[in-house]
């Protein structure tokens, strides 16, 4: 059933309006080779009110946060909390220019510290199409392998783990197939979340096409939940519905669709630890996988979380 929950904490603005948000610190990266990756920092680079904090990868674990001149181990909660404590005012996290393995632990630290923050995302104008790659409508990435995101340790298989699984789907069906091959999840207990409405009207159809082989297994297409592709909070609500059907038991979530949906999945895992586990395949992004940008989404994460009350 389509989720009609009003996502009042999501809004889309022209990139020129970013200076009016009141962000005091912007966490952003430079390693993603896409046109839109510079959209957000490019609008704020001349603002004297914003401290730009460029996150540079030193290795798989450590980052240097320029602007604050700190080295942070993404697996060390103390490092992350010290980083968060050094920032005041409203923090902005640029999802567009950061990899999941970097922004996910940053978001976790911000949530745990109760810091006021927003996530920002520059919508792509278009994706690069696939040259007939199996299970892909678009040529977006290759997988580096399934392993935990920093700060989201894998759990030993629990006694109440019946294999309930909620993948947040995108255009790369091969990623879902890979997870089924590698992880102890049950096809019969899988309820996917699909981004609908999509950023464009045709995108939900592309998601179905890319994942059609998996969706045909054990009538999985009848267990699909829908959430606006651009809204993490609708994705969060969709996961609530899936988890309720699972009786609140152990649930695995795979954030392999849009970055907004990934944010919703990661927030849900933070709020429902240890009964919700993340599965992530760490894709290696194709260069130039998107073209242009169509505006910026602002996600008022801390404001949304306040409406949920105590975890």
Residue 289 has pLDDT above 70, yes or no: no
Domains of the chain, CATH where assigned? 10-127+290-306 (3.40.50), 141-285 (3.40.50)
Q: Which carries the bigger pLDDT value, residue 161 or residue 61?
A: 61
Token digits of residue 177:
């197939």
pLDDT at position 298: 97
User: pLDDT class for 292, splitting at 50, 70, 90?
Assistant: low
Half-sphere exposure of 172 (CA within 13 A, CB side): 22
User: pLDDT class for 295, splitting at 50, 70, 90?
Assistant: confident
pLDDT single digits (tens) 116-159: 999 999 988 766 554 444 444 444 445 567 889 999 987 666 66
**DSSP strands (E only) in 67-200:** 70-73, 90-94, 117-127, 141-143, 164-169, 193-195
pTM, full prediction: 0.91
Q: Are 21 and 49 in contact (CB under 8 A)?
A: no
pLDDT at position 287: 63
Mean pLDDT of all residues in the chain?
Answer: 88
For the residues 277-296, what does the mean pLDDT come to?
Answer: 76
């Amino acid at each position: 059933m389509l989720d009609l929950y009003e996502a009042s904490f999501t809004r889309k603005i022209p990139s020129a309006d970013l200076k009016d948000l009141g962000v005091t610190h912007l966490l952003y990266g430079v390693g993603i080779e896409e046109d839109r990756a510079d959209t957000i920092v490019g609008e704020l680079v001349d603002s004297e009110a914003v401290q730009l904090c460029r996150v540079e990868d030193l290795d798989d674990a450590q980052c240097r946060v320029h602007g604050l001149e700190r080295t942070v181990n993404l697996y060390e909660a103390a490092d992350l909390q010290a980083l968060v404590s050094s920032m005041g005012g409203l923090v902005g996290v640029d999802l567009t220019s950061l990899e999941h393995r970097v922004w996910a632990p940053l978001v976790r630290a911000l949530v745990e510290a109760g810091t006021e923050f927003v996530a920002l995302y520059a919508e792509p104008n278009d994706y690069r199409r696939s040259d007939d790659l199996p299970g892909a409508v678009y040529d977006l990435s290759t997988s580096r392998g399934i392993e935990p995101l920093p700060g989201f340790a894998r759990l030993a298989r629990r006694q109440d783990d019946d294999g309930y699984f909620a993948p947040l789907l995108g255009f790369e069906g091969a990623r879902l197939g890979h997870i089924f091959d590698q992880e102890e999840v049950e096809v019969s207990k899988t309820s996917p979340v699909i981004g609908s409405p999509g950023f464009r009207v045709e995108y939900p159809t592309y998601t179905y096409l890319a994942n059609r082989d998996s969706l045909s297994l054990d009538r999985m297409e009848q267990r699909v939940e829908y959430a606006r592709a651009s809204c993490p909070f609708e994705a969060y609500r969709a996961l609530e519905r899936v988890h309720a059907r699972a009786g609140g038991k152990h649930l695995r979530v795979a954030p392999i669709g849009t970055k907004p949906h990934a944010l919703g999945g990661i927030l849900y895992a933070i709020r429902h630890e240890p009964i919700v586990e993340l599965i992530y395949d760490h894709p290696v992004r194709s260069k130039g996988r998107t073209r242009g940008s169509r505006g910026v989404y602002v996600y008022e994460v801390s404001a949304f979380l306040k409406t949920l009350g105590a975890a």
